[in-house]
């Protein structure tokens, strides 16, 4: 189900249509059912961001980070129908080394207020354990949600002109189509550069557009008091997700080490729990690699998760575990069933 406010470019539509077609074909031919025993591995770790009736974000990359509470409920019913046990993240190492029924782990990144408001009641109804990966700079109101600031900066101005080290990017932002085109160019240009360029560019954009980034963080992200309640919840465990949410592979080693270690220390200090798991921000190969996997292990985390898609197989390195993103552009059980079967990754391999 695609939310009506999402504006698509032809390229988006084609890419999403292709992925949907592949997943639907796998589901409709029954390939996911008859191949799953060979392809699904031992289980999956699912990634969620926002859970809300409507996505707040409008641009496709941001809106895809939001699913409805109803779909979360359908995900949990589907996992039960498929025979998956929903288990705490801490059980992954033991379950990977033993035979048993397939298992699923639920993880929520960043620490959004809507998780407590809209996801928690669904998780409680199913008795489903979950891990919340807390970015401590969001809880401290010191780190911005730059991808949402970028969306608003484009919406507030008739045109933008930005000087990058490799040239100027400019374009009109008067109509919905112009804003989407500009968003697309700007978002991916920022993602191509190191974190220092991204941060500097966002500082200029935020100033020019007169935004209130930390007000947004306060509105959208849980503070320490909410997190203290969650940390005591019998279904919840808390993991770390850096201080300022940088792509760790795009910052100097010393800063990356501080981000990985300091987030654990802040969580211990505020919540009186020791986060044993870590999630790499953004988590794709360009954001976390061998250097970061070693750092997470050396910092004492017992496991760490990426967003590299895949199912869990015995022998995987515990500090580079794959996850499957439950994406707002694919809110149908058929797509998720095809994904958790592992068949798409076996085909790709």
Which residues contact Zn ion by CB under 5 A? Answer: 109-110, 281
Query: Cβ 258 to Zn ion, closest distance in Å?
Result: 18
Q: Which helix (H) or strand (E) holds 179?
A: helix 176-192
Rounded distance, CA 101 to CA 99, Å? Answer: 7
Query: Cβ 141 to Zn ion, closest distance in Å?
Result: 16
Measured over the CA atoms of residue 118, residue 235, residue 244 and residue 183, the dihedral's sign is negative
Q: What does the buried/exposed string (b/e) look like for 295-329 if buried means 16 or more CB atoms within 10 Å of the residue's CB?
A: bbbebebbbbbbbebbbbeeebebbbbbbbbbbbb
Rounded distance, CA 190 to CA 204, Å? Answer: 13
Rounded distance, CA 217 to CA 219, Å? Answer: 5
- Comparison of 157 and 242: residue with beta carbon closer to Zn ion: 242
Interacting residues of 188 by C-beta distance below 8 A, sequence separation 6+: none
End-to-end CA distance of the chain: 28
Query: Cβ 132 to Zn ion, closest distance in Å?
Result: 11
- Comparison of 178 and 262: residue with beta carbon closer to Zn ion: 262
Question: How many other β-carbons are positioned within 10 Å of the β-carbon of residue 54?
Answer: 11
Choose among 334, 314, 347: nearest CA to 78: 334
Choose among 311, 263, 314: nearest CA to 82: 311
- Comparison of 47 and 68: residue with beta carbon closer to Zn ion: 47
Query: Cβ 248 to Zn ion, closest distance in Å?
Result: 11
Query: Cβ 245 to Zn ion, closest distance in Å?
Result: 6
Query: Cβ 275 to Zn ion, closest distance in Å?
Result: 14
Query: Cβ 241 to Zn ion, closest distance in Å?
Result: 6
Rounded distance, CA 25 to CA 27, Å? Answer: 5
- Comparison of 60 and 111: residue with beta carbon closer to Zn ion: 111
- Comparison of 281 and 342: residue with beta carbon closer to Zn ion: 281
Name the residue with the smallest CB distance to Zn ion: 109
Choose among 51, 182, 61: nearest CA to 121: 51
Tokens read off for 126: 């199913």
Contact predicate 267/275, CB 8 Å: yes
Query: Cβ 282 to Zn ion, closest distance in Å?
Result: 7
Return the residue matching tokens 């509470």: 69
- Comparison of 112 and 224: residue with beta carbon closer to Zn ion: 112
DSSP designation for 117: I
Q: Which helix (H) or strand (E) holds 134?
A: strand 130-134
Query: Cβ 318 to Zn ion, closest distance in Å?
Result: 20
- Comparison of 242 and 337: residue with beta carbon closer to Zn ion: 242
- Comparison of 110 and 195: residue with beta carbon closer to Zn ion: 110
- Comparison of 96 and 134: residue with beta carbon closer to Zn ion: 134
Choose among 179, 295, 271: nearest CA to 222: 271
DSSP designation for 221: B
- Comparison of 109 and 292: residue with beta carbon closer to Zn ion: 109
Query: Cβ 49 to Zn ion, closest distance in Å?
Result: 7
């Amino acid at each position: 189900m695609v939310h009506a406010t999402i504006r698509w470019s032809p390229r988006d539509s084609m890419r999403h249509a292709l992925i949907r077609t592949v997943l639907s074909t796998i589901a409709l031919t029954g390939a996911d059912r008859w191949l799953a025993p060979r392809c699904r591995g031992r289980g999956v770790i699912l990634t969620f961001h926002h859970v809300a009736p409507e996505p707040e974000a409008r641009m496709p990359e941001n809106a895809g980070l939001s699913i409805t509470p109803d779909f979360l409920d359908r995900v949990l019913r589907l996992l039960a129908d498929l025979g998956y046990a929903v288990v705490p993240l801490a059980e992954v190492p033991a379950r990977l080394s033993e035979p048993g029924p397939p298992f699923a782990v639920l993880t929520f990144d960043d620490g959004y207020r809507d998780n407590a408001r809209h996801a928690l009641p669904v998780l409680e109804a199913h008795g489903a354990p979950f891990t919340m990966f807390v970015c401590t700079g969001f809880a401290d109101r010191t780190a911005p949600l730059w991808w949402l600031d970028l969306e608003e900066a484009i919406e507030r101005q008739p045109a933008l002109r930005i000087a990058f080290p490799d040239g100027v990017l400019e374009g009109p932002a008067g109509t919905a189509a112009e804003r989407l085109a500009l968003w697309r160019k700007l978002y991916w240009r920022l993602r191509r550069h190191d974190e220092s360029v991204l941060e500097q560019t966002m500082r200029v954009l935020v100033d020019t557009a007169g935004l209130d980034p930390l007000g947004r963080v306060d509105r959208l992200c849980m503070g320490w008091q909410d997190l203290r309640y969650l940390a005591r919840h019998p279904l919840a465990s808390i993991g770390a997700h850096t201080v300022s949410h940088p792509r760790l592979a795009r910052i100097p080693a010393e800063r990356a080490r501080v981000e990985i270690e300091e987030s654990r220390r802040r969580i211990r200090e505020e919540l009186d729990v020791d986060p044993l798991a870590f999630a790499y921000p953004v988590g794709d190969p360009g954001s976390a690699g061998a250097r970061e996997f070693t750092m997470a292990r050396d910092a004492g985390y017992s496991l760490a998760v990426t967003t590299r898609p895949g199912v869990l197989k015995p022998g995987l390195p515990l500090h580079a575990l794959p996850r499957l993103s439950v994406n707002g552009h694919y809110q149908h059980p058929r797509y998720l069933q095809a994904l958790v079967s592992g068949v798409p990754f076996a085909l790709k391999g």
